[in-house]
Amino acid sequence: EAAEAALQEVFETKVREGSKAQAAIVVMSADGAVRAMVGGRDTRGIAGQFNRATQARRQTGSAFKPFVYAAALDLGYTPLHRIEDQPLCMDIPGSGQWCPQNYTRKYYGVVTLTEALQRSLNTPAVRISEHVGRDNVRAVAQNFGIESKLADGPAIALGTSESTLLEMTGAYAGILNGGSSVTPYGLTELRLQGDTEPLIGKTGGIGERVISEPAARALTYMMHQVVESGSGVRAKVEGVQVAGKTGTTQAQRDAWFIGFSADYVTGVWMGYDDNTPLTGVTGSGLPAEIWQQTMARVHDRIEAHPLPMDRPSAAPD
């Protein structure tokens, strides 16, 4: 109800009438238990309906960046590690020169990893990915549950690969729970009335460790800064510590906000079914507002808990 009400509220008050834009929401616990799923707008009663939360494979954009930083933190980088944000060009065999730019077309010089994620800067993400190795980034994302094929080139760092909202939300659950993968699941048991043995037991839950707990806690701190004073400020929930990441893909065809409190992980995707570009919508806008409305409603009747994060104490040498 909280997720559906949030979607309705934002579309009624912030989206132009008659818009065919779609959105999907997934809310889950840190072990992968799916608590709510909205597969689109006005899906009730439609035979053979398309569930955008589980079936739509879309480019993830900057919502993929936490996996880049997860790989780096797991290898010993810290949130205060410094990296250059300067123009960058790379020669791609068979494709020529590739020069990623920041969304703002501005560069900020030497920044910390936290600042780079906070502002969703592109060149530092690519540099970090190249430093730690694309294979390590790919392994972290896949081990967290991203089953879709991931790009081979340096653009992997910028989320050029496709994924589903359910996969992405499940992957973020792994950050919240301290660094272990989860398999999302929707039921704990199914049994026939009168039978003692269940027909189906729990089909998911927490799996193997992907990154260390200190790395997960450091990444949670960095993602908290995204909401506190970065690209995700519109996702702030009064009285609740939250962390998250925006994502906007090329030509604004997809807009994401995925994040978590200490109690729930929520993912929001917005876009058109036919890949038409969104007009004036980025992950930091309407998806963050849908996310905020959902989480505010979800937390309305529960006690808020602090995020499991560690604030960095000193700058690296």
Read off the pTM: 0.94
Residues 145, 67 contacting (CB under 8 angstroms): no
The dihedral through the CA atoms of 172, 177, 180, 183 has a sign that is negative
Tens of pLDDT, residues 162-179 = 999 999 999 999 999 999
Q: Is 47 exposed, middle or buried (0-12, 13-18, 19+ CB in 10 A)?
A: exposed
Tens of pLDDT, residues 58-69 = 999 999 999 999
Does residue 47 surpass a pLDDT of 60?
no
Tens of pLDDT, residues 143-168 = 999 988 898 899 999 999 999 999 99
Angle between helices 213-229 and 165-176 (to 10 degrees): 110
Tens of pLDDT, residues 230-240 = 999 999 999 99
